Every structure is written in structure tokens, then in C-alpha cells.
Amino acid sequence: DTGVSQNPRHKITKRGQNVTFRCDPISEHNRLYWYRQTLGQGPEFLTYFQNEAQLEKSRLLSDRFSAERPKGSFSTLEIQRTEQGDSAMYLCASSPRASGGQGYNEQFFGPGTRLTVL
Amino acid sequence: AQTVTQSQPEMSVQEAETVTLSCTYDTSESDYYLFWYKQPPSRQMILVIRQEAYKQQNATENRFSVNFQKAAKSFSLKISDSQLGDAAMYFCAYIRQGAQKLVFGQGTRLTINP
């Protein structure tokens, strides 16, 4: 399966602990996205990378959140000093390099990492 | 800011029948794309259908079709001949031309009754 993969699929942690999630995009996709989905809601955009550059961050991404994509391949999302409000599904997506004349490149989503903060 | 609203938290339909899911959106942009995504339980979200705002013709993908009303900012999804495998959360989404951020609605949970 060459789709977007995310690890771990589930994470339970205690309030105040740090957690890190990993996303492996589809090979050769140069764009990578993180979204957060709380129970009963649609996904909300967190941040976006083109290659290794983080080009856009949502105001939802507080100082406790940091995302990296060091070599333009996989990405990590770290949450420091977790709070109960951080409990959510964290979704990663990737999309290919823009081709000439195409206005939009589909974002392919991974299965998500479900975080529970106790 | 752009917003997407799905006013039906839950819908149900008998197998083999037709169901329509509603979506409205708000934007001041003229160039954008609209999507319906399907999220089965514990599985990843997949794209069902997309519509370019500049196209007047409604998009169709097999049993899935949309009714795109640009002036009314309405974008509904019709599923014909519903199958048990269609049961899922369905999200309407918007993206502005040239942007990278998808804006999603709250979702509609679709149940298929055998």
C-alpha cells in the first residue's frame, strides 16, 4: 500500500506529557498537510509544507505545537504539555507537485492518529 | 473567512434508494473548488467528487452526482442506488483557487438500512 501512513494510530497520554506523531506521505508528493478533527466536527487545517518549508500555519497551532519536515519527506507533529482539549484525531494529507494548467491537486489523507489526553 | 455548513448531522436511507446530502458555503471568491469526502468508520477519508466553480455542468461520478448552485452557494450530493458500503461520514469541503487549506463542513453521518 503506497498511501499516506501515520504512526501511531492511537495514543493515550496524561495531561502535561509531550507527544509526537509521524506522517509518511505518498512517495514524491512534495506537499504535506496536518489537520485536526475533534469529535463530531470536520477537519480543521493546522499547517502545510512544501518540501521542507513550512509555508502556512493556522492560529489553531499554538506555541505548544510544532511541526517539522526535515528532509522534505516524512513529517512530525509534536505537542508539548498536552491538555485535555488536545484530544482529537490528527490527520495528515499529501498532494503531488502542481502540474501545468491544473488548478488544484487532490489531497490524499492518511488514517489519522487518535490522541486521548487523560 | 470562508465557511462551509452542513445542516444535516444524520441521514438514513433504504438500500437501493436515493439520498441527497446538503451543503452551503460562504465565500467572496469567484474561483474555487468544492468537494465531497467520505470517511468510513476507522478508515481514511477519500475524495468522492469534486466541482470546479467555473464549470456550469454538475459533476458526476458513477452513482454520485452534485447539484451545484453557484449563486445560491449550495452544493448538494446525490447518491443513487445506495449501497451498504456507502455508510460513512460525508464532509463537504471548499478550497480557494491557489490556496492549500481545505475548509470542511461539520459532516453528515449517513446510515444505509438493509
Helix-then-strand count for chain A, H and E? 0, 11
The per-residue pLDDT for A40 is 87
Q: CB–CB of A58 and B4 under 8 A?
A: no
Residues of A with CB under 8 A from a CB of B: 3-4, 31, 33, 35, 40-45, 48, 55-56, 58, 91, 103-104, 106-107, 109-112
User: How crowded is residue A115: how many other Cβ atoms within 10 Å of its Cβ?
Assistant: 21
Provide, as residue numbers in chain A, all residues whose Cβ is less than 8 Å from the Cβ of B37.
109
- Compute the distance between CA of residue A113 and CA of residue A35 in angstroms, rounded to an integer: 11
In chain B, the N- to C-terminal Cα span, in Å, equals 41
Residue A100 has pLDDT above 60, yes or no: no
- Compute the distance between CA of residue A31 and CA of residue B37 in angstroms, rounded to an integer: 19
Which position has the grid cell 474561483? B31
> Residue A2 — very low, low, confident or very high, per pLDDT cuts 50/70/90?
confident
> Which residue in the set A41, A103, A111 is minimally distant from B43, CB to CB?
A111
- Mean pLDDT for chain A? 92
Answer for the pair B8, B110: CB distance below 8 angstroms, yes or no.
no
Residue A103 has pLDDT above 80, yes or no: no
Tens of pLDDT, residues B2-61: 899 999 999 999 999 999 999 999 999 999 999 999 999 878 899 999 999 999 899 999
The per-residue pLDDT for A72 is 85
Helix-then-strand count for chain B, H and E? 0, 12
Write out the DSSP string of B6-57: ---SEEEEETTS-EEE--EEE-S-SSEEEEEEEE-TTS--EEEEEEETT--S
User: How crowded is residue A104: how many other Cβ atoms within 10 Å of its Cβ?
Assistant: 18
Stretch B87-105: mean pLDDT, rounded? 95
At position A18, the amino acid (one-letter code) is: N
User: How crowded is residue B78: how many other Cβ atoms within 10 Å of its Cβ?
Assistant: 16
The per-residue pLDDT for B43 is 83
The per-residue pLDDT for A85 is 95
- Compute the distance between CA of residue A92 and CA of residue A69 in angstroms, rounded to an integer: 12
- Compute the distance between CA of residue B25 and CA of residue B55 in angstroms, rounded to an integer: 17
